[in-house]
Structure 1
Amino acid sequence: MRSHIFQHVPFEGPGSIEPWLRAAGHHVTRTPFYTDGTTLPDVPDIDLLIVMGGPMSVNDEQQFPWLVAEKAFIRRTIDAGKPVLGICLGAQLIASAMGARVYPNPTREIGWFPIHGCTAPGTNNFSFPSSVDVFHWHGETFDLPPGATPLASSAACQLQAFQLGTSVIGLQFHLETTPASARDIVTHCSAELIPGDHVQDAATILSATPEQYRTINHLMDTVLAFLLDTHGCNA
């Protein structure tokens, strides 16, 4: 199986995702949009597309022209029925590719804050816990894409996760975060740590316990397994 990763900046990589995929026998490739001369794979050649985060907006097409091609590729992959997982900017790119509006959230949400699952029982949707602390770093939100189902919310952001069919999940939050990747984003995006009700300082963010990382990484594992098992990609 081949999993392909769209990465937008060097300091927001796949974190816990890549080791899980490799342990499951997947060949992992990636498109680093932050380098010159990047090329996109052929949709039929991939079994799973993972779209990572980044500090840019999906609306910054003039500054980052590759966003146009990326969104078109995401749409083709979804239309082909391939599993797609979007994280933070990645979820916003999925929403935009599927015709939903992406815009500034009323407040930034940065740090460790709870989300609340809202999946109706007895559905074929992924189910998040009723409350679990996860790692956030976002300032924008989006409307629910047509046909999608909301999966989670938080006090700062009404739409934290969604599912489209059985193939697509978008997450505003970062379940893939490791201690190293948390340090990386704090280092590169410290200017965004403006004090607020939903913005923690660097020391608080980096004081997260090993158990907090284990919890979110395990939850990421279950999201990946859900998408792959649904499509018979975990042979």
Structure 2
Amino acid sequence: MRINVLQHTPNEGPGSIQRWSQLHHHEMYIYHPYRFGNLPTADETDMLVILGGPMGPNDNLPWLKEERQLIKQLLAEHKPIFGACLGAQQIAKTLGCRIGKAPHKEVGWAPVYLQTDKIPGLPKKITALHWHEEMFEIPDEAELLFSSDLVKNQGFVLGHHVVGLQFHFEPEADNLREIAINDNHYPDDHNDLHQTAADIIKHGVPAENREVMYHILDFITAK
């Protein structure tokens, strides 16, 4: 299977998604549209992963609009799609949902709570990495998957092939440090989780997050 990854900033890579791809002997291609403007076609995409980034779906950037055209094609073809943060917002916007400011800016570690049994076997409560201040509406066809204490719309599952998460399960230890040291001022401004970059690094990545990420990827790629 060819997995095409859309990466939107140098310090937010695929993390454990890449490890999962390697374990299953898939081929992963990582695109940087914000830098090079290149995107894969639908025909050469068996699975699409859309990662986070500092920009928003409402920004007037041509490549963001082109991403949504690709997402629209893949949705019509029922191909697996996973979106994290900006990626989830891009999926929701493609489906006609509004993207706007969340009621709280969340930067750091905080629990999320499972809202549906659509994906069997997920824990009821998981500590996840949050790095956002915007929020998506839940698409009409989708189910609310996760909520946090501060923001209700934290994740959705659409059918059996699409999952969007406002937060991050994919970072591993090295990725966490890369995110936090390079975007170290973002947690300091009006952060309702009241964690600094140093706090976030010190917390570390919970061991179960990789397994939860694998479980979601197994679900959306199951035949």
- TM-score, normalised via structure 2 length: 0.94
How far off is 1:128 after superposition? Answer: 3.5
In the TM superposition, what whole-angstrom CA distance separates every residue of 1:153-186 from its partner, at most 9, and x where no partner exists?
0011101110111111001111011122112221
Aligned length: 222
Equivalent residue for 2:101?
A: 104
CA contact (8 A) 1:82 1:167 kept: yes
Q: Runs of at least 4 residues of structure 1 off by over 3 A? A: 124-128
Q: Say if 2:203 is the partner of 1:208.
A: yes
Distance across 2 between alignment mates of 1:23 and 1:187 = 29
Q: Distance between the aligned counterparts of 2:210 and 2:34, measured in 1?
A: 26
2:119 and 2:143 map into 1 onto residues whose CA distance is 8
Task: Please tell me the root mean square deviation across aligned C-alpha atoms, in Å.
Answer: 1.5
Structure-to-structure mapping, 1:105-184, within 5 angstroms: 105-120=102-117, 124-125=118-119, 128-184=122-178
Displacement of 1:39:
2.5
Contact conserved, 1:99 with 1:146, CA < 8 A, in 2? no
2:110 aligned counterpart, secondary structure: strand
Q: 1:18 to 1:65 in 2, by over 3 A?
A: same
Q: Are 1:2 and 2:2 an aligned pair?
A: yes
Deviation for aligned residue 1:127:
5.6
Q: Percent identity?
A: 36
Unmatched 5+ stretches in structure 1: none
Structure 2 residues without counterparts, runs of 5 or longer = none
Shift of 1:34: 2.6
Give the aligned residue type for 1:151. L
**How far has the Cα of 1:190 moved from its partner?**
2.0
Instruction: Work out whether residues 9 and 33 of structure 1, in 8 Å CA contact, stay in contact via their aligned partners in 2.
Output: no
For 1:1-235, list aligned pairs within 5 A: 1-36=1-36, 38-61=37-60, 64-120=61-117, 124-125=118-119, 128-193=122-187, 194=189, 196-209=191-204, 212=206, 214-229=207-222, 232=223
The normalised TM-score by structure 1 is 0.89
Give the secondary structure class of the aligned counterpart of 1:137.
strand
1:119–1:127 CA contact under 8 A, matched in 2: no
Does the CA-based 8 Å contact 1:110-1:136 persist in structure 2?
Answer: yes
